[in-house]
Structure 1
């Protein structure tokens, strides 16, 4: 079996930002309740991932 590999065209930070924006719009449109809470939980996870990625990325000086 061969692995399916492909090269990412955008950085992880950009993909996380796009995902966060999409989920934020969905959460804003959702009525209060379980669905909105799930979306907000996913948004917090994405924000945490973005912060961790930013901290772990070594930027050249």
Structure 2
């Protein structure tokens, strides 16, 4: 049976998503308009949405997003 490799995360999910979104936006800013740039910007928006969902899930009372 194979053993699973486990990693102890040093940063929170919120921090990792924020870092990734910032990195993607910086990388996209250096590119000319085109398909690759749009893909990077879409991934950055997905990371930002994931940050909002994660914050909502951990909020007290689980209120609906506004």
| Alignment TM-score, normalising by the size of structure 1 | 0.88
Structure 2: how far apart are the matches of 1:11 and 1:36? 27
Compare relative contact order (CA 8 Å, sep 6+) and give the higher one, 1 or 2: 1
Alpha-carbon distance, 1:17 to partner: 0.6
| Alignment TM-score, normalising by the size of structure 2 | 0.82
Q: Any stretches of 5+ residues in structure 1 without a counterpart?
A: none
Q: Deviation above 6 Å: which 4+ runs of structure 1?
A: none
Q: Which structure has more helix as a fraction of its residues?
A: 1
Structure 2: how far apart are the matches of 1:9 and 1:35? 30
Counterpart position of 1:53: 54
Q: Any stretches of 5+ residues in structure 2 without a counterpart?
A: 61-66
Structure 2: how far apart are the matches of 1:37 and 1:6? 31
Q: How many residues align?
A: 59
Give the 5 Å matches for 1:1-61: 1-58=2-59
Q: Give the alignment's Cα RMSD to 1 decimal.
A: 1.1
